[in-house]
Structure 1
Amino acid sequence: MNDTLNFAGLATTPLELISFLLAITTVILNIRQLHWAWLFSIASSATYAVVFFDARLYGDMGLQFVFIAASVWGWYQWLHGAAAQPLVVTRLKRAAWGWAIAGWALGYALLAAFLDRFTDTDVPHADGFLTAGSLLGQLLLGRKKVENWIVWIVVDVLYVGLYVFKGLNLTAVLYALFVVLACIGLRAWSTIARRDA
């Protein structure tokens, strides 16, 4: 059922292709600030969990389950926000940036050590670093912070290389598209934040 097929010259599987399409839809809806993005995020995360398990990317697989929970939280945040008001796009303060980077570094150290010691992955450091960065990006996205797009640009550029290395070529193309979409999202949300400031 999940046999290899050729899509646009790339070897992939039906499940990876479905995940790809759901993920693209998610990011496009996020840029437009449509709360339905979270539903597509849940579906994409569920299917990508299986894809990443098959590729022995256990950090990414586990991250998909966190994304499902974070998507429920993000959906609620976008609809109800603070004081029963929907969230608006804002920027992080300088101190919050410091905490965000420190959290990313700590998450990386813990995840890479765990993956190296307790799994058979061949990329524990890359998987741990990108998983921790993705958690930060998701948190900032859920709070409608402009800087989520900066985190996603960094993470997605690095993911392209990781997925090429792991033979997930369609997913590598997806993450290259994510870089472009994240740049569009950064520009759009920066404009909104300036206008609302």
Structure 2
Amino acid sequence: MFATTPLELVANISFAISVWLAARNSPHTWWVGLLGCGLFAWLFFSSQLYADVTLQLFFIVTSLLGWWQWLRGHAGSALPVRRSKPQFIALRVALALLVALAYGTLLHYFTNAYAPYIDSLVLTFSVLAQLLLVQRRIENWPCWLVVNSISIPLYLSRGLTLTAIFYLLYWCNVLYGLYCWRRELQCVNVRS
């Protein structure tokens, strides 16, 4: 059996509910996620995963923005699910990789961060995925797939086994979210 703390347990349960709600395309994902992000910030700080702390603070801000955007961000009505152009995504992926390299270098030289480059990849691709999610762009799901694939071994290496297990569940939720959002996108296209 693995050791876990009440903090890790409650953070994961809160965040899992939020992730599931995102896959269901529910605006409630945002306020539930605020609790999970605050708890994860505390957990990751105590595990010396400073890029992940920064990420949780970013998630708190974007959760507030996403909540508003999903409810009123499209001419006063709910923002529809939409697809991005490949150039739009390619530019943002390249930027995420560049920022991860720069931030990882800073963490490597100026902190006692564990796995600074891998942690920074989790940070930058999570930022990209979150911004796409806020904008209800379907490409957020492949980005989350990358994040979850990198996060699982990172969290296992820090003894955050429960968190790694939840990220495995999130990996599965990505497939569910992509399925749900594709259906929603098809309905939007049919109505247009």
> Into which bin does the TM-score normalised by the smaller protein fall?
over 0.9
Map 1:1-197 to 2 at 5 A. Answer: 9-197=1-189
Matched position secondary structure for 1:122: coil
Could you say what the CA RMSD is over the residues aligned between the two structures, in angstroms?
1.0
Q: Show CA shifts across 1:80-112 (max 9, x none).
A: 113222101111112111122122112212211
Q: Deviations over 1:41-61 (max 9, x none)?
A: 110000000110111000001
1:194 alignment partner AA: Q
Q: Which has the higher contact order (CA 8 A, sep 6+)?
A: 2
C-alpha contact (below 8 Å) 2:66/2:134 kept by paired residues: yes
Aligned with 2:48: secondary structure?
coil
| Structure 1 residue 115: Cα displacement | 1.1
Quick one: which amino acid aligns to residue 10 of structure 1? Answer: F
TM-score (norm 2): 0.95
Which one-letter code corresponds to 1:196 in the other structure? V
Instruction: Name the counterpart of 1:4.
Output: none
C-alpha distance in 2 between matches for 1:96 and 1:85: 24
| 2:117 counterpart letter in structure 1 | H
Instruction: Answer whether contact 1:46 1:64 (CA < 8 A) is retained.
Output: yes
After alignment, is 21-30 or 96-105 more displaced?
96-105
- How many aligned positions are there? 189
In 1, Cα distance between the equivalents of 2:68 and 2:111? Answer: 34
TM-score (normalizing by structure 1): 0.93
Residue 21 of structure 1 aligns to a residue whose secondary structure is helix
Structure with greater helix share of residues: 2
Q: CA deviation at 1:10?
A: 2.8
**Distance in 1 separating the partners of 2:170 and 2:128:** 16
Contact 1:111 1:132 in 2 (8 A): no
Secondary structure, in 3 states, of the residue corresponding to 2:3?
strand
Runs of 4+ with deviation above 2 angstroms? none
Whole-angstrom CA distance in 2 between matches of 1:75 and 1:183:
23
- Secondary structure in 2 aligned to 1:12? coil
The aligned residue for residue 3 of structure 1 is none
| Aligned partner letter, 1:34 | S
Report if the CA contact (8 A) 2:25-2:181 is conserved: no
Q: Distance in 2 between matches of 1:43 and 1:192?
A: 27
Q: Which moved more, 1:109-118 or 1:178-187?
A: 109-118
